[in-house]
Structure 1
Amino acid sequence: MNCCCDSEETNDLKIEGDVGADPIWCNRCGGNLDLEDVPISDRLAEELLSWATWRMD
């Protein structure tokens, strides 16, 4: 997964809710990653999106 870490790929991720952003972030540079680019199951992606939506309510 590419982020803003000097064109390096990262596996150092954090889960964090934010309005209007996917809940996956680079833990080094703080860049927001597209959920569809993260190698996780469809079920986990749906659960993360559900969690992020719940956090915004």
Structure 2
Amino acid sequence: VGVVRRLADLADTQFIATTFRPEILKVADKIYGVTHKNRVSFINVVSKEQAMDFIEHDQTANAS
């Protein structure tokens, strides 16, 4: 995570990552959520809190 942040800051570059890892969310500047309805995908900006809630719910659901 630290390497990606340093590279982004030094090279004025952006990285796009798909993840369910909370450590990546903690350093993200912007987080997008993808939802599906009627076989159509929708992309929206979400808060870090919303993303963390989603990850925690996903991990809890998959733990059983």
The TM-score with structure 1 as length reference comes to 0.41
Q: Between Structure 1 and Structure 2, which shows a larger proportion of strand residues?
A: 2
Which structure has the larger Rg?
2
Q: Work out which structure has the larger RCO, using CA pairs closer than 8 Å and 6 or more positions apart in sequence.
A: 1
The TM-score with structure 2 as length reference comes to 0.38
Q: Between Structure 1 and Structure 2, which shows a larger proportion of helix residues?
A: 2
